C-alpha cells in the first residue's frame, strides 16, 4: 500500500537535518493526502496555497 502526499509549502523553514545528515520534511499543515485509488484528474490541485517566494514558476 502506498500513501501519496503532496507537501505544498516546501521551503527552508520546513526542512530539518537529522544527526546523520538525513533531510527531514516537516510542517504538513498544508499537505494533501491522496488515496492510491485516486485518479490522475482527482490528484490535480486546483487551489493555490504555499509561500510565494518558494513556489515553482508554473
pLDDT in tens, 4-50: 666 667 788 888 999 999 998 887 665 666 666 666 666 565 666 66
Decide which of 58 and 20 is more confident.
20
N- to C-terminal Cα distance for the chain? 31
Looking at the 3D structure of the chain, how many domains does it have? Answer: 1
Domain that holds residue 37: 4-54
Catalytic residue among 8, 9, 14, 50: 9
Q: What is the pLDDT of residue 52?
A: 75
Q: What is the pLDDT of residue 8?
A: 67
Q: What is the pLDDT of residue 22?
A: 94
Q: What is the pLDDT of residue 58?
A: 66
- Respond yes or no: is residue 27 known to be catalytic: no
C-alpha cell at 24: 527531514
Torsion of CA 16, 22, 26, 32, to 10 degrees: 150
14 contacts 26 by C-beta, under 8 angstroms: yes
Amino acid at each position: 500500500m502506498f500513501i501519496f502526499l503532496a507537501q505544498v509549502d516546501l521551503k527552508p523553514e520546513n526542512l530539518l537535518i537529522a544527526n546523520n545528515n538525513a533531510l527531514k520534511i516537516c510542517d504538513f499543515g498544508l499537505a494533501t493526502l491522496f488515496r492510491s485509488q485516486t485518479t490522475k484528474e482527482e490528484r490535480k490541485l486546483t487551489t493555490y496555497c504555499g509561500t510565494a517566494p518558494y513556489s515553482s514558476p508554473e
